[in-house]
Amino acid sequence: MTSNSPSSGDKLLTLRWDNWLLALLAGIIAVPIATLLLPGFLAVVVAGIFIALVVITAIVNAWSRHIGGLLVAPAIAVLVVMNIFPLLWSLGLSFYSYRADRQTLRFLGTRNYERLITDPVVWDRLTTTAYLVVLTVAVQMVIGFLLALLFSKQFPLRRYLLILVLTPMMLSYVAVGAFFRYYYDPTFGLVSQIANLFTTEPFVLISSTAGAFAAIVIADAWMWAPFVMLLVLAGLVSVPKHLYEAASVDRVPGWRRFWWITFPYVKGLLLLALLFRTIEAFKLFDVVFILTDGGQSTETIALYVYRQAIQFNKTSYSSSLSYILLFTVIVLTNLYLYLANRRSKEA
Amino acid sequence: MASENNPALRLTNISKRFGDVVALEKLTFDVRQGGFFVLFGPSSVGKTTTLRAICGLETVDSGSIEIDGKDATLAPIRDRGVAMVFQSFALYPHLTLSENFAYPLREAGVSTNEIKKRVGETVEMLRLSHRLDNKPATLSGGEQQRVALGRALIRHPKILLLDEPLTNLDAKLRHDMRAELKRLHRQLGMTIVFATPDELEALSMGEDIAVMETGHVVQQGTPDELYERPRNLYVAAKIGSPHMNLLEAKAQPDNKGLDTPFGPLVVHHRDLPADEPLIMGIRPTDIKIAKNGEPHILTKVRLIEPLGDLTIVSFNAGGSHLRIVLSEADAIGIQPGQDLGVVIAPEYVHLFRKADGVAIANAA
């Protein structure tokens, strides 16, 4: 530990294995100093050591206070290794110039971010992503809602159809992508086969920008409309039946009943579905990757990050881009939550 | 026939089944214009189904419903002019109180000014003016009850149906709301059909009470009629608190009196069926403590339940348990285990055939 005051007695400053606050404090002070003084690679090592130190002291602390500390330790360890460490590590990297295929490291400060924000390609990819988010989420919400209305009624085979409708949600993205790739295939795909009934020209859906967008939106909506349906259905069945009866005695016509009674019950869940789906759609990658691989200007920001990071090995550059994405999603989430809370306070 | 002479509501031979379950079976009753009519019976005898059939939420299998002399058996809900207060209140949870009131009116196409006027009247009447901007969930049980009532009243319905509206309230509120409902009924003069399993509610509120048993009306009458001349054992046992004492008895061969568990008893009934087991009923208030020297039935006190100004005394008489209600003053000094002489006035004795429970007319 680098920063340690000799005046002990103060709880925060005692040098102990369970004093994770001290470790965190030390890290916050030491890492920037190391960044400025040491060569780049050593600075990263120092940062890594401090991150490990904070984690270890936090676990020791939890362990000394509750026996449960050790029980959750494996889960925390996995979380640290898989999520927290990469997250912090890439945050650190985003301030450096670093490529995964070279071992040189140079501190850049916020220059990566400055470059990103002024890069027209990034803005173009963000625009593409925004179009896809709006289109696919809108389609999912509408279809999911209609499906929920359908399944809130009783009809024969309802249970089996429900299982069938829910299946796409459980498939892997890659499988869905592959399915639709075959559907859209120009020579033997189902879509072109049907198109060939009406026209002799070969039908290639993905050959135009609009067609490619449509292809992606259809595939993603097919996969996620059931999710929206599930949430909305939960809202629909929670409406007390006597409210409908009260409304019919109050002489309220059917569709008005839907607006005044059903909708307020579904509203919250609809907002939740919107939130989940927007965040997910923002990260849209797999389906695009498999269907168009970014062709016909369908490259989403997630695909762009992947390309920069994996194909061009611009590790630190893509890290900063990822952080911009993370920040955007967090802002979006909080905006939704703020709106949702305000609504629920009104209710 | 002038419409004023028609009953506000007439149900004739209504039957309704849910699958194999018979909910209503040849249900028949009349409700006079402006009356306070009570449907009384324990739970699951079909009170709610009856109300739902009247307002049109259930279609009946057979029989007819007339509202104001016009057949309404198959009329759509909106044409019946009926409002209903549900047991669960069924307030619109996301609308404020004033919106809850205004909503049905707006749907009925009433003008904004009229709505404002009526909402004002209604909240005034129900003393809810200070709560107008609250959502139902923030109101107390009694206030929710009044909102539910107000939402029904504000439409000025011809008939107001109340489905156990007081069951969800605590005892004190229930008492207040009973008075409140009677006041509103007098003030507004509309026809009210009130379903309740609570005999106190039925007797204290109803001008006309129909006692229901498994889907049909056993007896319809004023509270006094039901209390004094129950048509059968079922009504006798349901009406009156504490319940009527019921004992097995038999007519004496000379048709003069009864053989009871505690000895012979002279009664005023004529034409007592000989050789048939009978049930004798006597109200706890109709048994008196014998005065000095009066011929009496000797009993042993079992239990004393003081209720404040009244005291219920249970005792053994010839192997059966009886209960009497005494004023607090009369009950002073009575101890469990003590012998007590009681007198049963023959004019207050009810007699029923044991086989079918049908009452035998008392000549007195």
User: Which range in A187-191, B74-78, B190-194, B274-278 is most confidently predicted, on average pLDDT?
Assistant: B190-194
Yes or no, beta carbons of A248 and B77 under 8 Å apart: yes
Q: What percent of chain A has pLDDT over 70?
A: 94
pLDDT digits over B123-153, tens only? 887 788 888 888 888 888 888 888 888 888 8
Residue of B nearest to A344 (CA): B94
Instruction: Return the higher-pLDDT residue of B275 and A263.
Output: A263
Chain A residues with a Cβ under 8 Å from any Cβ in chain B: 240, 242-243, 245-253, 256, 260-261, 264, 347
Question: Is A107 inside a domain boundary?
Answer: no
Q: How close B29 gets to chain A, by Cα (Å)? A: 22
Cβ-defined contact of A249 to B151 (cutoff 8 Å): no
Q: Are residues A216 and A172 in the same domain?
A: yes
Q: Contact B359/B244 with Cβ under 8 angstroms?
A: no
The mean pLDDT value for A187-192 works out to 78
pLDDT band at B37 (very low <50, low <70, confident <90, very high): very high
Q: Which residue of A has its CA nearest to B80?
A: A249
pLDDT band at A2 (very low <50, low <70, confident <90, very high): very low
Determine, for residues A252 and B155 on separate chains, whether the beta-carbon distance falls below 8 Å.
Answer: no
Q: Inter-chain contact B55–A249, Cβ cutoff 8 Å?
A: yes
| Phi, psi torsion values for A336, nearest 5 degrees | -60, -50
In contact, A301 and A125? CB cutoff 8 Å: yes
What is the model's pLDDT at position B210? 92
Same domain as A201, residue A88: no
Closest approach of chain A CAs to the CA of B147, in angstroms?
13
Identify from B57, B133, B158 which residue to disrupt to test chain A contact, counting A C-beta atoms within 10 A and taking the largest count: B57
What pLDDT sits at residue A14? 76
Q: Are residues A239 and A200 in the same domain?
A: yes
Same domain, A203 and A54: no
Q: Is B104 on the interface with A (CB under 8 A)?
A: yes
Closest in B78, B86, B94 to A251, CB measured: B78
Residues from chain A contacting residue B150 (CB–CB below 8 Å): none
Is B168 near chain A, with CB under 8 Å? no
CA-based nearest distance B68→chain A, Å: 18
How many CB pairs (< 8 A) connect A and B?
A: 51
Of B57, B82, B92, the CB nearest to A243: B92
pLDDT for B253 equals: 76
Q: Choose the mutation target among A238, A244, A249 for the interface with B, i.e. most B CBs under 10 Å.
A: A249
In this structure, the answer to whether residues A20 and A148 fall within a common structural domain is: no
As a whole number, mean pLDDT of residues B311-320 equals: 83
Mean of the per-residue pLDDT values of chain B: 85
As a whole number of angstroms, the distance between CA B109 and CA B112 comes to 9
Give tens-digit pLDDT for B231-265: 888 998 888 878 888 888 888 877 677 888 777 88
> Which of residues A61, A93, A125 is at a domain's end?
A93
Mean pLDDT score, B38-44:
89
Q: Which residues in chain B have Cβ-Cβ distances shorter than 8 Å to A249?
A: 55-57, 77, 82-84
Determine the pLDDT at residue A249. Answer: 81
A133 shares its domain with A180 = yes
Q: In this predicted model, which residue has the larger pLDDT, B324 or A340?
A: B324
Residue A172 is classified by DSSP as: -
The average confidence (pLDDT) of chain A is: 82
Residues A201 and A295 reside in one and the same domain: yes
Q: Which of A242, A253, A347 sits opposite B94 (nearest CB)?
A: A347
Nearest to B90 among A242, A251, A256 (CB): A242
At residue B109, does pLDDT exceed 70?
yes
Structural domain for A216, as ranges:
115-346
Q: Per-residue pLDDT averaged across B85-89, rounded?
A: 85
List pLDDT tens digits, range A114-163.
888 888 888 888 898 889 999 999 999 999 999 998 988 888 888 899 89
Residue B160 reports pLDDT greater than 70: yes
Question: pLDDT-derived band of residue B363, with 50, 70 and 90 as boundaries?
Answer: low
Residue A249 lies in a domain: yes
Domain end, chosen from A93, A126, A144, is at A93
Does one domain contain both A74 and A121? no
The alpha carbon dihedral of B198, B201, B203, B207 has a sign of: negative
Count of the separate structural domains present in chain A: 2
Q: Is B160 left (phi over 0), alpha (psi -120 to 50) or beta?
A: beta
Which of residues B100 and A59 earns the better pLDDT score? B100
Same domain, A56 and A193: no
Amino acid B364: pLDDT = 55
User: ipTM of this predicted complex?
Assistant: 0.71
Judge whether B340 and B315 are in contact, CB under 8 Å: yes
Whether the CB-CB separation of B136 and B86 falls below 8 Å is answered with no
In a domain, A157, yes or no: yes
| B242-360 maps to CATH 3.65.10.10 | no
At residue A42, the pLDDT reads 81
The verdict on A45 and A184 lying in the same domain is no
Q: Do B103 and A260 touch (CB under 8 A)?
A: yes
Report yes or no: B82 at the A interface, CB cutoff 8 Å: yes
Confidence at residue A229, expressed as pLDDT on a 0 to 100 scale? 92
* pLDDT of res. A21: 82
Give the CATH fold of the B3-231 domain.
Rossmann fold (3.40.50)
Which residues on chain A are in Cβ contact (under 8 Å) with B135?
347
0.80 surpassed by pTM: no
- As a whole number, mean pLDDT of residues A51-80 equals 79
Identify the band that residue B291 occupies on the pLDDT scale cut at 50, 70 and 90: confident
Touching check for B115 and chain A: CB below 8 Å? no
Give me the sign of the Cα torsion angle A161, A162, A165, A170.
Answer: negative
Q: Which chain B residue lies closest to A256 (C-alpha atoms)?
A: B107
How much is the pLDDT for A93?
A: 83
Chain B: nearest CA to A345, how far in angstroms? 11
Q: Report if residue A270 sits inside a domain.
A: yes
Contact list, B90 vs chain A (CB under 8 Å): 240, 242-243, 245-246
Residues of chain B contacting A246 with CB distance shorter than 8 Å: 84, 86, 90, 92
Given a cut of 60, whether residue A1 has pLDDT beyond it is no
Burial class (CB in 10 A: 0-12, 13-18, 19+), B262: middle
Here the CATH number for the domain that contains residue A153 is: 1.10.3720.10
- b/e burial code for range B198-223 (CB count within 10 A of at least 16 → b): bbebbbebbbbbbbbbebbbbbbbeb
User: Among candidates A272, A172, A160, A287, which has minimal Cα distance to A227?
Assistant: A272
All residues of chain B having their beta carbon less than 8 Å from the beta carbon of residue A261 are 92
Interchain CB distance below 8 Å, A248 and B57: yes
Regarding whether A228 and A296 lie in a shared domain, the answer is yes
- Two tokens at A325? 């994405």
- The pLDDT, as a whole number, for residue A265 is 84
- Farthest-apart Cα atoms in chain A, separation: 87
What pLDDT, on a 0 to 100 scale, did the predictor assign at position A5? 41
Of A246, A260, A347, the CB nearest to B90: A246
Smallest Cβ–Cβ distance between A242 and the set B77, B78, B88 belongs to B88
A315 secondary structure, DSSP code: H
Per the CB < 8 A criterion, the answer to whether B45 and B221 are in contact is no
| CB within 8 Å: B92 and A260 | yes
Distance from CA of A256 to the nearest CA of B (A): 9
Please state, for a pLDDT cut of 70, what percent of chain B lies above it: 98
Q: What is the mean pLDDT of residues B317-332?
A: 83
User: By the CB < 8 Å criterion, does B156 face chain A?
Assistant: no
Structure tokens belonging to residue B79: 């044409």
Contacts of A240 in chain B (CB under 8 A): 88, 90
CB spacing of B107 vs A347 below 8 angstroms: no
Instruction: State whether A251 and B107 contact (CB < 8 Å).
Output: yes
Q: Is the pLDDT of residue B4 over 80?
A: no
Task: Sketch the domain layout of chain B as residue ranges.
Answer: 3-231, 242-360
Which candidate from A245, A252, A260 shows the least CB-CB separation from B90?
A245
- B3-231 with B242-360: one CATH topology? no
* A254-312 confidence digits (pLDDT tens): 777 888 888 888 888 888 888 888 888 888 888 888 888 777 777 888 888 888 888 88
Query: Alpha helices of chain A — where are they, by DSSP H?
Result: 20-37, 40-65, 68-79, 85-93, 111-118, 120-151, 158-170, 173-184, 190-198, 209-237, 241-249, 254-257, 263-282, 286-291, 301-306, 315-346
A151 and A229 together in one domain: yes
**Nearest chain A residue to B104, by CA:** A250
pLDDT of residue B98: 85
Contact call for A250 and B95, based on CB within 8 A? no
